[in-house]
Amino acid sequence: MSRQNAQKRIGKKKCPNCGATIPSYPRYTPWCDHCNWNIQPDNVETQSRWQRTLSQQLAKRLFDQMRAEVPPKRLTGTHIAALLLATLIYLFHVALLWAGGWLIWSLSFGRIFAGALLIYFSIRALIIRYDELPPDMLLIDDKQFPALINFVREVASRLDVPMPQIVLSEQFTATFARVGPKRQSLLCIGIPFLALLNGGELTSLIGHELSHAHDGARTRSLYVQNARTALESWHALLSFRGLAQHSNMAASIVGVCLFALCFPLRVILIGSLRLFELLVVRDSQRAEYIADLQSLAVAGNRDAPQLLQKSCYRYLGALHEAYANAPLHQKYSAIQQRFADIPQREKERVWRIAKLQQPKLSSSHPTVSERIALLKNRRDIPPAYVIDAQQFATIQAELQRCPQILHGHEIVYLHEANETFVMEGVELSAVSAD
C-alpha cells in the first residue's frame, strides 16, 4: 500500500481511556497521544518491585558516572569482582581434581570409581568452549563486497582498531564478537537493519560496533566466560532433570533423591551464577556506553541518536513481513519501500514504547533513552569521516545482492548437512546388518 493510499484510508476513533479523538490506520495498532493508551512497554510486568528498584538505581549510578567523564581503561569494581569469582571457580576445580586423584590413590575400588568420576566431570566442566560462526551467517571477502569492506577498513583505521572479519545475516541487528581459539574479531551486520540507514547512520553503526574492540569489557574475556560456563555445566549436571522426568519409576526416584542430596550445592551454584550474570550485565552496559562515546571520534554525534531510534524499528512487524514475502532479488529494496510507506504515527508508537522501557537487571544494554541522553549531553561533534554519495550508492548496490548470496549459502549448508546425515545412516545400517 502506497503512502497516498494509506492517507486516504485513515479513519478516526475515540480513545476508550480518555475519550480523545485519535487517528486510526488500517493494519496498524491505534493509540492515544494524550494518555498513551495502547502504549505498552514489554518488560514492565516481568520484574518484581525490588528488581525494578535495584535496576533503576544501578542504571542511574552508571549513567551518572558515564555522564561525568569516560572512565579510564582500568580495573573497576565489577572487573575485580568478576576476576575474583572466576579465580575461585578455577581453584575449586583444582581442589576437585586433587580430591579425585587422592581417591584414586587409595586403591579402593569404590574410591577409584568415585575419583575417576570426579576428575571426569571436573575436566568436562573446564573444557574451553569457543563461540563459532553460526551456519546461517555469511563470511564475506573483498571479491564479493569490495566497497563495504573498504568502508569498514577505513572506519577501523580511523578508530585505530584491527580490521575484523565481516559477517552478514538476515537479522535486524548488528553485533561485535570474538570467535575461535584465536579470538578473531567478527563484525556481524544484519541486512534488514542496513536497509534503513543513511550514510551518516551507517558510519555511526560501524563505528560503534568496532569500538567494542577497545571497550575494556573484561567480563567478556575467555578467562571469565569459561569459568561461568563451568558453573553452568555443573548446574545442568546436578539438576538431574533427565532422571527426575524419566518414564521409569526407579530412575525417577533416583533422580529426585540425588536432587535432594545436592540441593545445598545447587543453591550455591545458582547464587554464583546470578552474581556472574549481574557482573557481566553491568560490565556490558558500561561497554555499550563507552562504544557509543568512542564512535563519536569518527562518526560524530549528529546521526547517532537517530541510529539508536531506528534500532527500535525492529519491532515493526510490517518490515519483517515485507522482507519475508519479497522475492530474493527485491528483499532489500522491499524493506526500504515498506519503511517509507509505514505511517509516521506507527513509527512514533514504537518509539514511544522504546522510550518507556525500564532498565532491567538481565539486559546487556542500557535503555535507548539513556544512551541517547548521554550522546546529547556531549557537545556537538562533527563527523571526522563522511561517506560520499557515490561510495554509499556502491555499498547499497552490493547489499541488494546479499539476500540471494545468503540464500545460496544456506542451500549449500543444508545440502552438506543432508549428505552427512545420509552417510551416517549408511554406516549405521551397515553396523546393524552385522
For residue 18, being part of any structural domain is answered with: no
Q: Is the per-residue pLDDT at 198 higher than 90?
A: yes
Q: Which three cell numbers stand for residue 380?
A: 556537538
In this prediction the pTM is 0.82
Question: How many CB atoms are located within 10 Å of the residue 363 CB?
Answer: 17
For residue 185, being part of any structural domain is answered with: no
For residue 153, being part of any structural domain is answered with: no
For residue 285, being part of any structural domain is answered with: yes
Residue range 373-417, pLDDT digits in tens? 999 888 888 888 889 999 999 999 999 988 888 776 554 433 333
Tell me which residue range forms the domain holding 292.
39-131+221-377
CB-based contacts of 125, cutoff 8 Å, min separation 6: 93, 229, 230, 233, 234, 237
For residue 190, being part of any structural domain is answered with: no
Q: Best-predicted range by mean pLDDT among 7-21, 24-38, 257-271?
A: 24-38
Q: Which range is least confidently modeled, 23-37, 243-257, 340-354?
A: 243-257
More confident residue, 331 or 251: 331
In total, how many domains does the chain have? 1
Q: What is the pLDDT of residue 248?
A: 57
At residue 162, the 3 state secondary structure works out as coil
Q: Which three cell numbers stand for residue 320?
A: 519483517
Q: What is the pLDDT of residue 197?
A: 94
For residue 352, being part of any structural domain is answered with: yes
Question: How many CB atoms are located within 10 Å of the residue 236 CB?
Answer: 13
For residue 90, being part of any structural domain is answered with: yes
Q: Is the per-residue pLDDT at 71 higher than 80?
A: no
CB 119 within 8 A of CB 101: yes
For residue 206, being part of any structural domain is answered with: no
Confidence band of 121 (pLDDT split at 50, 70, 90): confident
Average pLDDT in the 331-350 region? 91
Tell me what the pLDDT averaged over the chain comes to. Answer: 80
Average pLDDT in the 61-65 region? 89
